[in-house]
Structure 1
């Protein structure tokens, strides 16, 4: 997840205005063959990446800026990679590679299937739920040098302590830090 110093993945309006590109800065694309995303985040995600795929030079609906070169690469990856949406309320998706999972047990079943890792993309509620259910093996954070104040955080609703082992921490430019933890 891309977070602020104070652990927010979105501001008071739900959007992380401090993030300049929504590409895969984690280097995980080679390690995964499916993505998991929360039902609240999915509609905007689908809209954003579809806009890049269909009109790569047009300003994007959420940012008003053209897609970053790395976002164009992620768009190509996302369009061919199976996506699973954890939601009990969403009924329709436009992407043909997207399916719904309706419970954490269904997520466990996905994890048990052979293949590469599943990339749990967000949003904050999904990541918090997966942390609480002990369904994440690794947590990757790109911390931006900003204090966001009120807003969404994947850690707001954790009920207990969750131990993590630092795998690495490295500066990636413009004051951002990529940290990876084994859970």
Structure 2
């Protein structure tokens, strides 16, 4: 059976998304992960992407990707991966998903994901999509959590586990450090007691 693996860049204070473009007071906090990315980090991300053949996205991430990736040049190899890969988008507000190879999931998300996991193929990667990641972890539907931990505190932004009312223990599968200062953590949620 396929696994659902979630991957996020995250700060020391748990922020996965800094305040957006409308916030002019935090301009210096945009692009917070960029100083910590490197060729080494890119290789890990690329290797992880090759273990999957489908992406699972929340609406906000999907809309951002769908407005960008279809417009990259045809000779961009990463753009080709993004455009040709199967994409599942979870949304309660969208009516259709028009980006190439996109499928909309509405209603009983757990049942739909169980069907998708039962299909033959490689794993399914949640890319970005912090709200979706948090929700699926709470529902015990994430098989692996991959965090690219950046040694920075933002103080503001969307946090992965902000205001949760549950406890989720995880096993550490892998830890890697990079010269850039980034720490890569692979975690596996423990089964509920």
Please indicate the TM-score interval, normalised by the length of the shorter structure. Answer: 0.7 to 0.9
Q: Which has the larger helix fraction?
A: 2
Take 1:92 and 1:24, find their aligned partners in 2: how far apart are those partners? 33
Map Cα deviations across residues 16-42 of structure 1 (whole Å, 9 max, x no partner): 521327967432122111100001221
The within-5 A match list for 1:70-89 is 72-89=76-93
Q: TM-score, normalising length from structure 2?
A: 0.77
After TM superposition, the structure 1 stretch with the greater mean CA deviation from structure 2, 30-39 or 158-167, is 158-167
- Which stretch of structure 1 is more off in the superposition, 162-171 or 40-49? 40-49
- Structure 2: gaps (5+ residues): 1-7, 22-28
**Structure 1 residues 45-56: aligned runs within 5 Å:** 45-53=65-73
- TM-score w.r.t. the length of structure 1 is 0.81
CA 1:89–1:53 in structure 2 vs 1: closer, same or farther (change >3 Å)? farther
> Which residue of structure 2 lines up, in the alignment, with residue 7 of structure 1?
14
Structure 1 alignment gaps of length 5 or more: 57-71
Q: Which structure's relative contact order is higher, taking Cα pairs within 8 Å and 6+ residues apart?
A: 2
Of residues 180, 184, 187 in structure 2, which corresponds to 1:181?
A: 187
Aligned pair partner of 2:116 in 110, 120, 124: 110
Report the count of equivalent residues: 167
The 8 Å contact of residues 32 and 118 in structure 1, kept in 2 or not, is answered as yes
Match of 2:150 in 1: 144
Task: Give the RMSD, CA atoms, in angstroms.
Answer: 2.3
Match of 1:161 in 2: 167
Larger radius of gyration between Structure 1 and Structure 2: 2
Pairwise CA distance, 1:133:
0.5
**Preserved CA contact (<8 Å) 2:96 2:104:** no
